[in-house]
Structure 1
Amino acid sequence: MKEKLPNSTLILVFGILSIIGCCCYGLLGIIFGILAIVLANKAKELYYANPELYMGYENVKTGRILGIIGLILSVLSFVSGLIFFFTAGGLDAMWEMQREIYGNGF
């Protein structure tokens, strides 16, 4: 009987979280993307050593792809946030822009 690859579901969840995390200025997406890719590479090595022993490789492949996409999007989001931060005049300018957009309730 085949057993499930270790962390296959976790890799898929981390891949999904890496895409969602790109909306949080990219920092969370970078962390989850790296975790998904590293864990997927370990699971991939384990699977290729004995493919007849394991199931769940589809989750690993999907999680790895999502992790790569999430990492790319998160790095772009993080870099654009840094560029905006330094070109807009720092934290005070960002807070002022937030107040203009959302009003005084922010």
Structure 2
Amino acid sequence: MEKRELPNSTLILVFGILSILGCCCYGVAGIIFGIIALVMAKRAVEIYNADPEIYTGYQNVKTGRILAIIGLVLSGLSMISTIIAIISYGGLEGIQEMQEEILREYGG
């Protein structure tokens, strides 16, 4: 029997890499790509475990899953540090003033 490539194995690896790179975008992009990669990896592992003899590319899924977890952690830390920096720079009063200014600008 000819072996087939596991569905989305390369895409999972790419999303895992993008989740690490996405931590530089205040963490938002990294969290999005990391979650997508983990969901896709979970489905690919279920497919592989059903019949492992006919699929290749499981190593890409494992690597992509690990990279997605690392990307989620780094993105979470990046997001938390960004929030802390905003709060420490402007304080809570500065954030409230910013919100009021945005509401005045766009809210009417």
Alignment correspondent of 1:32: 33
Alignment correspondent of 1:73: 74
- Larger Cα-atom Rg: 2
Alignment correspondent of 1:99: none
Gap runs ≥5 in structure 1: 92-106
Gap runs ≥5 in structure 2: 96-108
Alpha-carbon RMSD:
1.0
Provide the rounded CA distance (Å) in 2 between the counterparts of 1:79 and 1:85. Answer: 10
Asked whether 1:4 is paired with 2:35, we answer no
Provide the rounded CA distance (Å) in 1 between the counterparts of 2:30 and 2:66. Answer: 14
**TM-score normalised according to structure 1 size:** 0.83
Provide the rounded CA distance (Å) in 1 between the counterparts of 2:69 and 2:38. Answer: 7
Displacement over 3 Å in runs of 4+: none
Asked whether 1:43 is paired with 2:82, we answer no
**TM-score normalised according to structure 2 size:** 0.81
After superposition, give the CA deviation of every residue in 1:48-99 in whole Å (9 maximum; x if it has no partner): 11001110000000000000000000001001101111121057xxxxxxxx
Aligned residue-pair number = 91
